[in-house]
Each structure stands twice: as C-alpha cells, then as structure tokens.
Structure 1
Amino acid sequence: MTVEELRARHVELLRDRRVADRLGPPDPDGPREDRYHTWTQVGAEPLPTRLTRLAVVRARPAGYRSAHLRALQATLDACQPEVLHLADAAGWSVRTPVLAGVFPTGTLDGISVPVPGRGVLVLVNTGLLDLSAAVLKIMTGVLPAYGTPPLLTPDQASYALAEAVNAYLYGNGAVSARPLPELSGQRLALVGLMLRRATQFVIAHELAHVITGHLVTARRVTDPDTPVGALDAWAVGWPREHEADRVAATIMLRTLDDLAPRLVEAIEPCLVGALLLVPFLHEVTDRLADEQGRPVPFSTTHPPPVRRIQALVEHLAGRTRTPRALDLAADVATWLEDQLAGVREWFRLVDEVAV
C-alpha cells in the first residue's frame, strides 16, 4: 500500500460521509469568504449583530467547504514529512505507510484508522486545526508581550475567542470562526511556529501508536455523536495514550538538536508551549462542552486532558534544555483559564437570544 493509495481511501471516506466529493483545486468562482479585514473590525459590530452570528452557527451550521478542507489538508501534507524525519532521527523508523488526513471527527485527539494490508490513515479534526489557529492569533493579538500596541482590546479578544469556541462546539467541523486579519513580524513568526509544532505533535502522537505496536491489540469503539454520525476509532487504553504522548514529545524535541544554544533558548519555550496547546484547548473545550450539554466524541478513549497535561509536563520537565522552557506553556494555560468567564458570558447572552 502506498501513501497515494491511502490518500484515495481518505477521499473515499470524505465522500462516503458526504463531507466532500474531492479535495481538488478550489472553484475560482466560488463565494468569497466573509472575514475581518482589519483588527479594528473584530467584534466591532453592534451587540445584536454579534449575538446573531453566534446563534446562526448553532442553528444552521454551514456545509463543508472543499476549498477550506483542501487548505487544511495542505497543512497536514506539509507537516507530516518532518514528523517522519524526526521519528527516524529519534531511532524509530516508520515502515508502515501513514497518511494524516483532515476529517471532521469532532475530537481534539487524532484518530488512527488501520487499513488492513495497506497502512494507517490518521484522521485529524478540521475543528482542531481551525481552533488552534484562531486561539493563537487572538492570544498574540491581545497580549502586549507579543507586540505593542496590542492588536485587540480585551473585549474584542473575548468575543473573538467566544466566536472560535462557539464554532468549534456547534459548527460540526464545517464552520470556523470568521477569519481574523493576517499577522506580521514577531506575531506571525510565533503563531506559525507554534501552530506547525502543535499540528505535528498531534500527528506524532498517532504515529507513536504505530511505532509502538499499540494498534495491533487495539479494540474498535464506535461513537454515534460525531459531526458525521457514527464513526469508528481504535482504543488502546489510557496507559498507552500516555506512552504515545511521551514518544511524541521525544520525537518533537528532536527539532532542537541542530540549533545553536542561543536559538534553543529562544525556541524551546515555543516548542513546549505548542506541544501542550492542544491538551490545554482540550481541557477548556471539554469543560465548556459539558456546561453546554454538547457531546465530546470518544471522550472515554483517552485520559482526561488534565491528567495528560500533568503527565506530559512531568515528562518534559526532565528533558528540556533551558530553565524557562515551560514558562510560555504556563502563560498559555493561565490566559485560557482567565478567558473562560468571558466566553461563558457570551454563551449566556446567545442562549437568551436563541430561546
């Protein structure tokens, strides 16, 4: 089985679940994307308009957009080869064909789908990629540590984050928050680095299941509450999920091997923050999903996010090379926690509109 054959299986799965018929080039005559063109526009509409946008996502999620799925798949295609190279550098040569494919699984964990006699298809949630990118943009746009003056006020950032989480929880993987303006300079570099490494960590975690042979004895579980209805995944047990996190972290730390000490000191905190970003988001969105009565697909197949965070932090703390390697990750976790009250308030207001 070649990777191209796995790619065909991926498109077949997208088609079978009525997500997309193809991942070909976008239609140049398709509708133009509604987006924020300047940072002053973010959350600047009258309150009723902002609440209506949140309510519409809940009531009428849009259809899957082939052009957007293609763009997300291009991100995965760009990230996967480096992960395979890093795994080889860490002493784990991957002989099994693997392809990371974008798919609306509804979970912030990747899903490994063995294709007997062919390889492994790793499904990465569309919502995971959209939410990670939006949160990083908002965080770097509002916190002065990443550039002055800030691009967003705290009130703008609160609404933008509520919009991103609302789209994640209610958009069925088809809706992303209204795109934010482009970044530049230090902010662009930081978001690009962290988003790439966070995405690669998700791929590396699933690759770790292949490397360690976890999938050989995995059991199939079916969750009926994914964005595309009932979907199968392979459960390996909580101890092996922790092991996959450790293997993935070891693989990703190899990105520092060829860097000069001064670059390691600058980049390692960004790398560690990126490795912990998805578990941080998982913990926050799980709490909000529970409060909103929203299902969390495959929630029992992995340890609770807070346990994964604790175990991963302990693993990283013994392997990092700079004294302040965990500082950025701590800042991300603190910032997300501080934003919860604002997101809850927006959700309360939109709940009133929806009644």
Structure 2
Amino acid sequence: MSRRSRRLVRSYLALVQRDGLSAALIGPEVGGHGAAERIRGILESTDEYYADPLSGLSTLQDVLDQRVAEVEAAARSMGLRFDARHVLTALYPLGDVNAWGAPANSGDLILVSRGALGLTFLTLKINMMSAQMFGEPALIDRAQTVGALADVFAAHFRHGDPWRAPRLPSLTGHRAVMLDLLVNAAARFMIGHEYAHVAGRHPHVDRTTLKSADSAVEVYTRLWDDEFDADRVGAHLVLADQRLAAAAEQDPHFVRRHGLASVAAATGPMYVLLLDLVLHELDGELKVTGYPPAATAHPHPGKRWDALWPVIEQEYANQASPPPPLELPGGLMRWFENLFTDLVPAVRDRLA
C-alpha cells in the first residue's frame, strides 16, 4: 500500500472513529481490540503484512468490495483511467440513497450509505415476494406488502437504518436469483456513478453536509451536467458487467435462458433513481421530524430517470441479438405508484 493510500484509509478511519461507528461499519471487536485500532496497527506495519486493510472486517463491506472489484474491471474494459490504489469505497450512515465523494487526504473517498444498501435489498425483496414470478403465485398479498414496505421505510426515517425493520423470510429458487441480480446491479450503479466522477476528473464545485441519525459528514458536490454524465457512465459500467453477473449464478443456464442478467442490468440503475424518488415523495408527504432533507446537490431523481432511460433503451437497441424485455423498471415504478396512497398512512402510523 502506497503512502497516499495509507493517508486515504486514515481519512476514513478518522470519520469512523469520530462518530463511534467502528462496530457498525467495519466489524465488531476481535480479540479484545476494536477493528479500527487493529487496522491502525496494520497500517503502521509493512506493506507486505497486509495489502487490503478493510477486507474481511465486515460482511456488508465484503459485499461492497466485491461490487467495487466488478466496477473496476468493467471500467478498465471501457478504457476509463483511474488509480485504484487512490480510491477507497466504504460504508457510512449518510441518510441518503446516493453514494458520495467525501473530502479526503491524497485520494478519492467514496462513501456508500449502509442504509441505501438496506433499502435497495429489502424493498426489492418485498417486490419479489409480492409478484407472480416464473409461473409461481405471489407469496404475500397487498396488505402484507404495504405493511412490510412501511416497516422498512419507517425504520429508515426513524433510525437511518432500514435493517431494524422486522426480519423478512428468506427467498429461495429463482426469486432469490433475481433478487441477487437486481441488488448487485443497483449497488454497482451507485459505485460506478462515483467512479465516473473520478475517471472523468469532474471538479468539486462545493461541499455540503449530509446528516443522519448517527452523524453529519461533509461531502463534495459537482455540476449537474457532471451528475447526468456520471449516471450515464455508471449505467454503462453495469451494462458492461452483466455477463459477470450471469456467470456467477448457481443456475446460469436459467439466467441466460430468461435474459435475467440483461433485465437486471437495465433495471438496477433505474431502481436507484426510483428509490430516491420514492424517498423524496414520502418525506414530502410525511414531513419527518429529524429526517435529513433531500440533498440538493444532485438533480431531482425524476429528471435523472428521464435522462437515463433513453440511454438504457439505446444500449439494447444497438445490440445484434433481440433486445431483452425492458418492462421491469416501469413496472417497479407503477408498483410504488399503486401502493403509495396506502403506504403513506402506514408509514405515518409507524412513526407516530
């Protein structure tokens, strides 16, 4: 690890230690020593002792590291230039569905909200449970769907942590396969958007403070034109990586036969923007006390959706093979629209 990389990791550790978030973000205490202190010792040792100080310290960070590796491989295949040693992508409770670049020493520190990953996984899981899929009936009815979503959003608004909602049952079979594909595509888009800023050398216009239930942290803001560009590049990174997603599944023949990796690659980026839009709308209806107001540094998620969807459509129109169905992003939007009038009072009741 270079001296510059060490400084970058120290910037992250300083944020984590400042807010007392070591156990929540980078793993529990091991052998009587906190993970942050253990990392500090590693950083002060030789480079040969340990190359990646964040690896293996948190299950969720491990998942994030896998998505980062996929984004970096796709970025290189597209000819994007960046120095991976000077980019660190790590968890933080931002209270926002977007990933952000944070001020750091000698590198690019990308913060991905733990809550955003939870919202993506849990709401998509509820959708998988509520839908008729692959000839199988829905697992839950409308009232149960609204209740489960309300639990997740209320936990997010109240605690900044949707994982505090009642635990959902595990999915099996092809529903589980589709959920993994969608969640992974959404996470790659969050990360890929920030890598697009790094590779494009988009200038920092200003700083803003994001607040959550646990902390407040400064992040960089950029020009809206650069945000739209990062959406476009981030989506292309996901689309370029869809073959990796298909090959990694336990039933790749089923995935390929139904074009699920392509569907997920088209849907994941749009779902991040859709989830951001749903949060905007819910907060506008509920006026949640203490909930961080929607960050103004990004364009409105509805405008981002309108700008990105033609890019997705054009990508598949250019393919030699027949385009896979692109109905799922619009179907997910209609799903939220259909439930919204019941969802608002259900969330309000849980926050009362």
TM superposition score normalised by structure 1: 0.79
1:280 Cα offset (Å): 0.5
**Aligned to 1:206, which of 194, 197, 216?**
194
Match of 2:52 in 1: none
Matches of 1:16 and 1:174, distance apart in 2: 23
Confirm or deny: 8 A CA contact 1:147 1:187 kept in the other structure: no
**Aligned to 1:79, which of 67, 76, 80?**
67
Match of 2:34 in 1: none
Match of 2:270 in 1: 276
Matches of 1:189 and 1:200, distance apart in 2: 17
Confirm or deny: 8 A CA contact 1:144 1:150 kept in the other structure: yes
Match of 1:104 in 2: 93
Q: Which runs of 5+ in 1 are unaligned?
A: 29-68
2:172 is aligned with 1:184: yes
Distance of aligned partners of 1:91 and 1:316 in 2 relative to their CA distance in 1, 3 Å threshold:
same
1:54-93 → structure 2 map (5 Å cutoff): 70-93=58-81
324-333 or 237-246, larger mean C-alpha shift: 324-333
Confirm or deny: 8 A CA contact 1:223 1:297 kept in the other structure: no
Confirm or deny: 8 A CA contact 2:91 2:112 kept in the other structure: yes
Q: Deviations over 1:233-267 (max 9, x none)?
A: 11112111000001111111112468899658442
Distance of aligned partners of 1:27 and 1:105 in 2 relative to their CA distance in 1, 3 Å threshold:
same
1:4 Cα offset (Å): 6.2
Match of 2:122 in 1: 134
Matches of 1:114 and 1:136, distance apart in 2: 32
Q: Deviations over 1:173-231 (max 9, x none)?
A: 375322211111101100011111110110000010000001xx313323264334432
Matches of 2:232 and 2:213, distance apart in 1: 29
| Two-structure CA RMSD over aligned residues (Å) | 2.6
**Aligned to 1:245, which of 213, 222, 231?**
231
1:350 Cα offset (Å): 3.8
Distance of aligned partners of 1:105 and 1:262 in 2 relative to their CA distance in 1, 3 Å threshold:
closer
1:122 Cα offset (Å): 0.7
Match of 2:13 in 1: 11
Identity %: 27
2:150 is aligned with 1:162: yes
**Aligned to 1:312, which of 292, 308, 313?**
308
TM superposition score normalised by structure 2: 0.80
225-234 or 119-128, larger mean C-alpha shift: 225-234
Q: Which runs of 5+ in 2 are unaligned?
A: 32-56, 247-252
Match of 1:336 in 2: 336
Match of 1:23 in 2: 26
Matches of 1:89 and 1:149, distance apart in 2: 40
**Aligned to 1:301, which of 279, 297, 300?**
297
Q: Deviations over 1:255-312 (max 9, x none)?
A: 2468899658442112111111111010011110122213445621000000000101
Name the structure, 1 or 2, with higher relative contact order (CA <8 Å, separation 6+): 1
Match of 1:223 in 2: 209
